[in-house]
Structure 1
Amino acid sequence: MAEKIWLIIGFLAQGLFSARFLVQWIASEKAKKSVIPIYFWYFSLGGGLLLLAYSIYRKDPVFILGQSTGVLIYSRNLYLIYKEKKRLQFSSESKS
Structure 2
Amino acid sequence: MWSYLYHVFIEQFDLWIVLGFFAQAMFTARFLVQWIASERARRSVVPFAFWTFSLIGGALLLLYALHRRDPVFILGQATGLIIYTRNIMLIAGEKKRAIAETESIEIPRS
User: Shorter-chain TM-score category?
Assistant: 0.5 to 0.7
Counterpart position of 1:75: 85
1:62 deviates by 1.2
Q: TM-score, normalised by structure 2?
A: 0.54
Distance 2:66 2:97 in 1: 37
Give 4+ residue runs of structure 1 displaced > 2 Å after superposition.
none
Counterpart position of 1:49: 59
User: Which 5+ residue runs of structure 1 have no aligned equivalent?
Assistant: 1-34
Distance 1:83 1:77 in 2: 10
- Which protein has greater RCO, CA pairs closer than 8 Å, 6+ apart? 2
1:61 deviates by 1.2
1:91 deviates by 1.1
1:87 deviates by 0.8
Distance 2:103 2:94 in 1: 14
Counterpart position of 2:104: 94
Mapped pair 1:36 → 2:41: no
1:83 deviates by 0.8
1:44 deviates by 0.5
1:40 alignment partner AA: F
Q: Bigger radius of gyration, 1 or 2?
A: 2
Q: Which has the higher helix share?
A: 1
Distance 1:71 1:93 in 2: 33
* CA-to-aligned-CA distance 1:14-52 (integer Å, 9 cap, x gap): xxxxxxxxxxxxxxxxxxxxx721101100101000000
Q: TM-score, normalised by structure 1?
A: 0.61
